[in-house]
Chains A and B, each alone.
Chain A
């Protein structure tokens, strides 16, 4: 058994009276594509928000590759190699696609030279080219991100997250808003990415999850309902009852 890359211990997050994360304890082992599923409001996004430092937890600890990152600022966690896409797509609107990727690639190296011209950072430029190719956004390279279609923004989200050279990528409903063709292509990309970077994906599209994931975590009402391989989850009575049975009502992208 390999050591977990991400260890979540007794994590609690409350919003006023609402317990969004209720003493969650979870380990994620490396080299496995993890998926988190669960009905709307289960606390999946809150889990990502708390892990990445965007929200402060009320109690509990998070360890990333052995480093305690509880309470750490988002930019420091990011520089440790954890990167994420946001469920509510959020990019640098008035900057071009290439600039969006450029700043992400440069930021991860921590070099924010105040006087040297940007064209002098060859390695960053190479990285941008590679990610434009990977996300197939080359044709939109000089387009302002604020004018992209929904699906292209979703791709750019993933591209930005990748540009920071993460060792762990957290994807929050990355294919939400994509058409069937784009979805299929993106799922293939994620599968391909998983060969070089650890991935945890939150997704509510069940066929995608069961096709993609090696290991599924089911959340409900701020807690962990079940964990296991896709077959185990599909046959788990509690999961079927709490979640899979009512899948049809759950197509609305939540906030």
Chain B
């Protein structure tokens, strides 16, 4: 029942996303199509935070680094190396994943706040490198480029210069990435990541290679962030070091937490909500980040699984037979001798 509701909502949202270009056009709200495209790209970025934090239990404040690598890979590939559309996309991905593989090998030796700090440090280092390597990156100005065609067959040319084509390109890439994330989360590998998140000592004792699992998660997350960066470069036709700054990473963390860390679609929900809030509120009230900060704090305290957690709890309430609910969930057999102490095997800092 619950799965059916979830599936129906998902299909409805997908259908809306597919008809969005025509829908928005008929409502004369074309500029919202670009906002929608941006929301899609940033929810892919938030998915990267979620893979690490929500599933592998590693809070990264450095995902913007890989986003930036993807951006510069595409922009430099097109503007400086004269690459076509697909090779530039390939370069962006290769640079992002390569950086993640190297940075990850060092970073995942650490956990908790040490991990968070080193990810910030990495992204700061590359931020300053990108700012100072002016001949390559354009420094403060960034690198802009003109859009090469995606597909050319004779006279026919497909290019992101067409707003609708661009939107559908972004929608399909982000959709495919989320499908991949779905597969990963439902796989044995995904479960292994969750086990590492829950209890790394126990995970290693059952035969899981904790270091390797964390490293692969870091690389996959780097790939997701990189892909988002590639898309964003193509979307804006430029790359800039400002997107490598940890402020951007922090936004990804906020979106993920508010939407629901460790849930498949939490990052989409969080990103969509906060970008719309930003669009609507930022020119009315310049201090709106205070509100966002407050919401994050409340979420962390009262709803660790974010908005998706609320949604799931709501569906549980609605679909569970009332009898079960009255009994308070699990039917426990009363057993006199068992101490009702809650054991929490917390042996970590």
Interface on A for B, CB 8 Å cutoff? Answer: 52, 54, 73-75, 78-79, 83-84, 86, 88-95, 99, 102-104, 106-108, 110-118, 121, 139-140, 143, 146-153, 160, 163-164, 177-182
The answer on a CB contact under 8 Å between A164 and B207 is: yes
Contact sample, A vs B, 25 pairs, CB 8 Å cutoff: A52-B205, A75-B209, A79-B207, A83-B205, A91-B345, A92-B199, A93-B199, A102-B191, A103-B195, A104-B207, A106-B191, A107-B192, A107-B203, A107-B206, A111-B188, A112-B189, A113-B188, A114-B190, A117-B183, A118-B187, A148-B343, A149-B343, A160-B202, A177-B339, A181-B335
Which 3 A-B pairs give the minimum distances between C-beta atoms?
Answer: A179-B337, A90-B345, A92-B198
Cα A163 to Cα B206 with chains together (Å): 9
Q: Nearest-CB distance from B186 to chain A (Å)?
A: 5
Contacts of B340 in A (CB 8 A): 149-150
Cα A204 to Cα B204 with chains together (Å): 26
The answer on a CB contact under 8 Å between B183 and A115 is: yes
Q: Nearest-CB distance from A91 to chain B (Å)?
A: 6
Q: Kindly state whether residue B330 has any CB partner on chain A within 8 Å.
A: yes
Residue of A nearest to B339 (CB): A150
Residue of B nearest to A91 (CB): B345
Known: A52-B205, A115-B184. A75 touches B210 (CB 8 A): yes
Instruction: Encode contact with A along B187-230: 1 for CB under 8 Å, 0 otherwise.
Output: 11111101100110111111111100100000000000000000
Contacts of B187 in A (CB 8 A): 112-118
Q: Kindly state whether residue B4 has any CB partner on chain A within 8 Å.
A: no
Known: A92-B199, A113-B187, A118-B187. A74 touches B205 (CB 8 A): yes
Cα A164 to Cα B206 with chains together (Å): 6
Contacts of B213 in A (CB 8 A): 112
Cα A102 to Cα B333 with chains together (Å): 24
Cα A153 to Cα B213 with chains together (Å): 26
Q: Kindly state whether residue B342 has any CB partner on chain A within 8 Å.
A: yes
Q: Could you say which of B186, B195, B203 has the most chain A C-beta atoms within 10 Å of its C-beta?
A: B195
The answer on a CB contact under 8 Å between A93 and B344 is: yes
Partner of A75, one of B207, B330, B335: B207
Cα A114 to Cα B205 with chains together (Å): 21
Known: A92-B194, A95-B195, A181-B337. A160 touches B206 (CB 8 A): yes
Within 8 A of A (CB), among B167-199: 180, 183-184, 186-192, 194-195, 198-199
Q: Kindly state whether residue B347 has any CB partner on chain A within 8 Å.
A: yes
Cα A151 to Cα B333 with chains together (Å): 13
The answer on a CB contact under 8 Å between A78 and B186 is: no
Instruction: Encode contact with A along B306-349: 1 for CB under 8 Å, 0 otherwise.
Output: 00000000000000000000000011010111111111110100
Contacts of A181 in B (CB 8 A): 335, 337
Contacts of B180 in A (CB 8 A): 115
Contacts of B341 in A (CB 8 A): 149-150, 177
Contacts of A147 in B (CB 8 A): 330, 342
The answer on a CB contact under 8 Å between B337 and A113 is: no
Within 8 A of A (CB), among B140-174: none
Cα A179 to Cα B338 with chains together (Å): 6
Cα A112 to Cα B216 with chains together (Å): 12
Contacts of B188 in A (CB 8 A): 103, 106, 111-114, 116, 118, 121
Q: Nearest-CB distance from B114 to chain A (Å)?
A: 20
The answer on a CB contact under 8 Å between B189 and A114 is: yes
Contacts of B335 in A (CB 8 A): 149, 179, 181
Cα A112 to Cα B190 with chains together (Å): 8
Q: Could you say which of A75, A150, A160, A163 has the most chain B C-beta atoms within 10 Å of its C-beta?
A: A75
The answer on a CB contact under 8 Å between A91 and B199 is: yes
The answer on a CB contact under 8 Å between B345 and A88 is: yes
Contacts of B192 in A (CB 8 A): 103, 106-107, 112
Residue of B nearest to A164 (CB): B206
Partner of A90, one of B201, B209, B210, B339: B201
Residue of A nearest to B209 (CB): A75
Cα A108 to Cα B209 with chains together (Å): 11
Cα A223 to Cα B233 with chains together (Å): 65
Q: Nearest-CB distance from A123 to chain B (Å)?
A: 12
Q: Nearest-CB distance from A88 to chain B (Å)?
A: 6
Cα A103 to Cα B186 with chains together (Å): 12
The answer on a CB contact under 8 Å between A150 and B207 is: no
Cα A137 to Cα B206 with chains together (Å): 19
Residue of A nearest to B341 (CB): A150
The answer on a CB contact under 8 Å between A118 and B191 is: yes
Contacts of A54 in B (CB 8 A): 201, 204-205
Contacts of A75 in B (CB 8 A): 204-210
Contacts of A92 in B (CB 8 A): 194-195, 198-199, 202-203
Contacts of B330 in A (CB 8 A): 140, 143, 147
Cα A147 to Cα B330 with chains together (Å): 10
Q: Nearest-CB distance from A164 to chain B (Å)?
A: 5
Contacts of A118 in B (CB 8 A): 186-188, 191
The answer on a CB contact under 8 Å between B338 and A152 is: yes
The answer on a CB contact under 8 Å between A108 and B206 is: yes
**Extra inter-chain contacts (4) besides given A103-B194, A149-B343, CB under 8 Å:** A90-B345, A92-B195, A93-B345, A112-B192
Contacts of A93 in B (CB 8 A): 198-199, 344-345
